[in-house]
Structure formats: structure tokens, C-alpha cells
Structure 1
Amino acid sequence: MKIDSCKASKLVDAYGNAKDASGLAGLLGAKWWPAGVVAGVFYGWAWKNQSAVKKCASKGTGIKFKEVGGVVTGCTAQ
């Protein structure tokens, strides 16, 4: 799954305003993500791995998330 640089920036910016994974999902909106990943699984992973997500987006690029069997396992900059 890939998100563009604008969405990557919004994701990183949302961490400061969210208190948990549900709050992150609420701030970004259910229709915000591309299809293909179960939203709850993604938001949970993104919340627990904030430093990894921030590192993947640190160059102002989009983010490519690796998904295996419906489970997000990592990210890289696009």
C-alpha cells in the first residue's frame, strides 16, 4: 500500500493531536486511506510504530507500507 507525500505529512502531523489509534483514525477519516488494508489493523500498527512512520516520511516523500496477509509489517519511503 502506498500513500502520497501529502497524506504522509497529514499522518505524521496527526500524531500530536491523537491520544490513541482510534483517535488517529478519527482525525484522518475512514475514507482517507487507499483500499486494500483493514483500517483498524493499519491504524493500530501506525500508532504503535510512530517513529518508523515518521522516519519513512522524513524526506518529504510518500510512504510505502508492506502488508503480509492483512498485517502491516513495515514501511519505506517511496
Structure 2
Amino acid sequence: MWEKKTGRTLQKEHVPEEDILKWIKEAAFPLNILLSLGLSTFVRGEQANFDIDPAVGVEATQLYPDVAYTTVDEYLNRLI
């Protein structure tokens, strides 16, 4: 998204998944959680979208309807 918005190519450093798994095992909380999320999202391409069982909970926008939520796209526009 950032490259598309700015028209510039970002320098990327590719890290093998095995290295990230090692870092996760060695890291203390909460860094291990952040690394796990990064692995899921950026390495494996998994999305964090999931259905919420209405018997257990609700989505945040239903809990706090007065909050003006910002999308990642909108947030990146602020940085340009």
C-alpha cells in the first residue's frame, strides 16, 4: 500500500521463516506475540479476519459505535 501511495519502491530484507520461528521461541512476552503476528501476516499471508460467535462477543464497532475508526489506507494518507 505504501509503495502504491508514494510511487516509490521500498527496500526489503527477506528473512527465512526458520529464523523468525527461532526468534519467536527466544523472545519474551510481548515481543514473541508481535513476532508471531508478523509471521502470520507478512510471511504466511494469513488474515486476522474471523467470525465472532454472537453468544460470546461482538465486534468492536458494535461495542463503541461513537468511535471514528481509521482504516490502514486512511492512516497512511496522513503520513504522506
TM over 0.5: no
Q: Which structure would you say has the larger Rg?
A: 2
More strand by percentage: 1
TM class, shorter-length: under 0.3
Which is bigger in relative contact order (C-alpha 8 A, separation at least 6)?
1
